[in-house]
């Protein structure tokens, strides 16, 4: 189970770093076109992190 949690954290962090990197591009046309995509990805990360924390809490409560 620890391995799964570590893998989830690693994949989430990689995705976050890549998303932030894409936000930093200097092309103004790209920024305007990608603003909606970045907002959507941010919401996905928020939901994924909250879901992971809830799942972790349920797991901890059930094992104690």
Distance CA(14)–CA(7), nearest Å, equals 11
Distance CA(38)–CA(22), nearest Å, equals 9
- Return per-residue pLDDT of the chain as tens, 64 residues: 788 888 889 999 998 888 888 776 666 666 666 777 888 888 999 999 999 999 999 999 998 8
Q: In the prediction, which pLDDT does 53 show?
A: 93
Q: In the prediction, which pLDDT does 22 show?
A: 77
Q: Which of 61, 64, 52 is nearest to 9 (CA)?
A: 52
Answer for the pair 25, 31: CB distance below 8 angstroms, yes or no: yes
């Amino acid at each position: 189970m620890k391995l799964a949690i570590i893998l989830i954290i690693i994949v989430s962090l990689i995705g976050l770093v890549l998303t932030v990197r894409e936000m930093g591009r200097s092309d103004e046309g790209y920024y305007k076109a990608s603003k909606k995509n970045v907002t959507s990805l941010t919401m996905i990360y928020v939901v994924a992190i909250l879901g992971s924390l809830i799942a972790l809490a349920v797991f901890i409560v059930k094992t104690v």
